[in-house]
Chains A and B, each alone.
Chain A
Amino acid sequence: MNGVHDLGGMHGFGPVVREQNEPVFHSEWEKRVFAMTLTAMGRGVCNVDEFRRAIERIPPAKYLAASYYEKWLNALEALLVEKGAVTPEELASGRAGAPAPATAAESPGGGVDSFDDSAIKLRFNQSFKPGFKVGDRVVARNFNPAHHTRLPRYARGKRGVIRYDQGVFVFPDTHAHGQGGKPQHVYTVVFEAQELWGPDGERAPVYLDCWEDYLESDRAAAKPATGGAAKPAIRSAAKTSGKASARKPGKLFGKAPNKSSGSTSGKSSIKTSVKIATKAPARKAVARKGGTSAKKPMVKVAAKTLAAKPAVKFAGRTRTAVRKGSKKR
């Protein structure tokens, strides 16, 4: 969605105003909105992508005028109604029209005591093969969807290099619209300042996380004439998939091989009839390899994941998802 929330690179907002000794919250109601929102997400009323989308739907003038937690309040009210948790009449009157569900009141507050580690499990699920690898040259898609997306406008159509493979995450573009998790790899892509802003830009590269569906192989860079080191995404995915699945999760954080631009590695004598990596072949591979845990069930898990994620209790928790999730290491 080309909304006013997509602020990167815009001008005219003036200096950054900082408050000395800023409190965590500025009023009592901000605290309640914060906590009710986390609880609603913990209860699965909405997931975090739906919540972000609800904020982005606030009309531009209102978005810019509202304080942060006013935006949260707007989004929370809208989602509670949209998801059928409350009716518009109830919201207007502040009184419940129907009796409360019997079991709900006994819960301590939205599963705050339980931590759902399925997002972490999904992240390291090796049945989702990466279509790209560190060092690949890519182009961020040039698209302008009306739906929720996490690819900011300033990066669309721009060329970059994959610096990290961060693992598997649900896809916000579908997850925000009740269309499933569509899990896929997320890559940290480096975009040079000149590529993003032209000659007048400050020379600072931007490291941006891009879901695989946001990326295409940079075919121009793959041509030998340009000296690019890109490899055909599908081929390399197939070639490295064995290695990738043998990798320990921690290696996802590993340093990228330092491929400077123009250094043509000996192996990049690639056929130029390279296919752009699209999701379709990757999905098929998943379905084949994943056996029973193929597309559908995975998506379900993922959907549950983010819904339950924010509700976590900090104090007194000894066992944690990360520890559980990484036992195998």
Chain B
Amino acid sequence: MSDGHDHHDGNDHHNAPLSEPAQRVKALEQLLVEKGLVNPQALDELIDTYEQRVGPRNGARVVARAWTDPEYRNRLLDNAARAIEELGFPPGPQGEHMMVVENTPHVHNLVVCTLCSCYPWSVLGLPPVWYKSTAYRASAVNDPRGLLKEFDIDVGDKEIRVWDSSSEMRYFVIPERPAGTEGLSEDELAELVTRDSMIGSGLAKPPASRSS
């Protein structure tokens, strides 16, 4: 996914007056720095971690490895957090207690958090706005098929399983490996694994669309 984006709410445009939350946050940070509760450089570092280092590319590496290495796949199913860490992605917050759920020709998994926004940070980074939206949280549990249609996904008559992340367990979907990818390397396979395919709101891309 590119780093550029189409639009945003304009709060940080350089010469614009600060919006109300922006002013509050600025004042709060100043106060907490004065109180010695936060250190601005440490905040920068945390932000950088989630903007640059932790994101769905990590999860894509995990999926590609699981597709190509049956023993790794078994370890991942057995103890996901540990297997994910094998690839250099430490559990971190919202990644300590992980479980992978695997899509098959008969089962499609979909992950939601109806109560808040629980999401497997260690492999997917921070969740997109739609995942935290009222619309998604409301409909995923009782109309998953309709929801998948909204996402332009057709899972046919597969059984859909919805995972509502109500505890500290975090769920992470291994999508089905697309047909026609037998000759691809692990790196090439990782390119086919989208963020949404690891939530269950998408599928892995077919190999033809790799360059798009």
A residues whose Cβ falls under 8 Å from a Cβ of B? 5-11, 13-36, 38-40, 43, 45, 52, 55, 64, 68-70, 73, 76-77, 80, 85-86, 90-91, 94-96, 100-101, 103-105, 107-110, 112, 115, 119-120, 123, 150-152, 154, 164, 166-167, 169, 186, 188, 193, 196-197, 201-202, 204-211, 249-250, 253-254, 309-315, 317, 320-323, 326
A94:B90 contact, CB within 8 angstroms: no
Knowing A27-B22, A39-B38, A188-B169, the reply to whether A32 touches B142 (Cβ < 8 A) is: no
B24 at the interface (CB under 8 A from A): yes
Cβ of A13 and Cβ of B139 under 8 Å apart? yes
Chain A residues whose CB sits within 8 angstroms of the CB of B136 once the complex forms: 16
* Interface contact B146-A28, CB-CB below 8 Å: no
Give the chain B neighbours of A21 by CB distance below 8 A: 1-2, 4-6
Other CB < 8 Å A-B pairs besides A20-B5, A21-B5, 13 of them? A9-B142, A13-B133, A19-B129, A24-B126, A32-B47, A35-B43, A36-B28, A39-B43, A64-B134, A169-B97, A211-B167, A313-B45, A320-B85
Contact B141 A29 (CB under 8 A): no
Q: Are A110 and B1 in contact (CB under 8 A)?
A: no
Q: How far is the CB of A112 from chain B (nearest CB, A)?
A: 6
Q: How far apart are the CA atoms of A132 and B131 in the complex, in Å?
A: 32
Please tell me if the beta carbons of B22 and A109 are within 8 angstroms of each other in the complex.
Answer: no
CA distance A309 to B93 in the complex (A): 6
Q: Which residue of A lies closest to B4 (CB)?
A: A21
C-alpha gap A26/B9 in the complex (Å): 7
Flag whether B190 is at the interface (Cβ < 8 A): no
The count of chain B contact residues (Cβ–Cβ below 8 Å) is 98
Q: Is the CB of A33 within 8 A of B53?
A: no
Cβ 8 A contact of B21, one of A29, A39, A164, A202: A29
For residue A197, which residues in chain B have a CB less than 8 angstroms away from its CB?
Answer: 142
A112/B114 in contact, CB under 8 A = no
Complex Cα gap A5–B115 (Å): 6
Q: Which residues of B contact A249 (CB under 8 A)?
A: 79
On whether the beta carbons of B53 and A315 are closer than 8 Å, the reply is: yes
Chain B 108-135: CB-based contact to A (< 8 A → 1; otherwise 0): 0010101111000000011011101111
B73: min CB distance to chain A, Å: 13
CA distance A80 to B44 in the complex (A): 21
Contacts of A94 in B (CB 8 A): 26-28, 30-31
Q: How far is the CB of A171 from chain B (nearest CB, A)?
A: 10
Q: In the complex, what residues of B have CB within 8 A of residue A150's CB?
A: 115, 166-167
Contact between chains at A104 and B50 (CB < 8 Å):
no
Nearest residue (CB) in B for A306 is B168
Partner-binding segment picked from B154-162, B181-189, B203-211: B154-162
Assembly CA distance A308 to B179 (angstroms):
44
Residue numbers in A under 8 Å from B7 (CB-CB): 19
| Cα distance, A27 to B29, chains bound together (Å) | 15
Given contacts A100-B34, A321-B91, contact A314 B49 (CB under 8 A): yes
| Per-position binary interface string of chain B over residues 45-64, scored 1 when its CB falls under 8 Å from any chain A CB and 0 otherwise | 11101110111000000000
C-alpha gap A164/B31 in the complex (Å): 45
Chain A residue contacts of B10, Cβ below 8 A = 27
Q: Tell whether, in the assembled complex, residue B162 and residue A96 are in contact, meaning their CB atoms are under 8 Å apart.
A: no
The answer to whether A20 touches B6 (Cβ under 8 A) is yes
State whether A119 touches B96 (Cβ < 8 A): yes
Contact B164 A207 (CB under 8 A): yes
Residues of A near B92 (CB, < 8 A) are: 312, 314
B106 within 8 A of A: no
Which of A6, A24, A28, A55 lies at the interface centre, i.e. has the most chain B CB atoms within 10 A of its CB? A24
Beyond A6-B115, A154-B141, A312-B90, whether A28 also contacts B22 by CB under 8 A is: yes
Distance to closest chain A CB from B182 (angstroms): 28
B11:A26 contact, CB within 8 angstroms: yes
Q: CB-CB contacts of B77-97 with A at 8 A, as 1s and 0s?
A: 111111001000011111011
B32 in the interface (beta carbon within 8 A): yes
Contact A85 B37 (CB under 8 A): yes
